[in-house]
Amino acid sequence: MTSGVRSRLCSLAILASLTWAPNSFSETPTERLARLYPQLSPAELREKIRVTRTPFEFYRSFVALFYDELGATPLTGTTFAAIANDTGVCIGDAHPENFGVILNDRGESVFTVNDVDDATPGPIFSDFLRLLAGISIYSPSTPLTPLVQTYVDALQGRMAPTSTLVAAAIQKSQSKGFSIARKELRSDSELKRDATANELSPAERNALVSALAPIGLTLVDAYRYKRLKGGSFGTTRIPTLVDSAPGSTWGGKRLLVEFKSLFPSSVGAFIPPTLIPDARVRVPQALTLFQRPYGVSQIFRVLSMQGVTFLQRPRWSGNVDVELDDWSGIASASAMLALYQNEAAVIGRIHREGARFPTDYITHAVQLSPQDWVTRAQQLAERIQTTYQAVRIP
Q: State the virtual CA torsion across 6, 7, 11, 13 in degrees, nearest 10.
A: 30
Report the residue count for the chain: 394
Q: Residue 192 and residue 186: Cα distance in Å, rounded?
A: 5
Other Cβ atoms within 10 Å of 44 Cβ, number: 15
Q: Residue 9: its pLDDT value, please?
A: 54
The structural domains of the chain, with segments of one domain joined by +, span 3-174+322-391, 177-314
- Are the beta carbons of 258 and 239 closer than 8 angstroms? yes
**pTM score, two decimals?**
0.93
Instruction: Identify residue 336 by its one-letter amino acid code.
Output: M
- Over the chain (394 residues), the average pLDDT of each successive run of 10 is 51 44 70 95 95 97 97 88 95 98 95 97 97 98 98 98 98 97 96 96 96 95 92 92 93 96 96 95 96 93 95 97 96 98 98 97 97 97 98 93
Residue 62 Cα distances to 33, 49, 218, 267, 308, angstroms = 8, 9, 36, 12, 22
> DSSP letter string over 317-374?
TT-EE--HHHHHHHS-HHHHHHHHHHHHHHHHHHHHHHBSSHHHHHHHHHHS-HHHHH
Per DSSP, the three-state class of 384 is helix
Q: In whole angstroms, give the CA distance from residue 122 to residue 351.
A: 11
Q: How many alpha carbons fall within 13 Å on the CB side of residue 167?
A: 7
What distance in Å separates the CA atoms of residue 240 and residue 232, rounded to the nearest whole number? 18
Q: Alpha-carbon distance 255 to 179, whole Å?
A: 7
Could you count the other beta carbons within 10 Å of the beta carbon of residue 274? 8
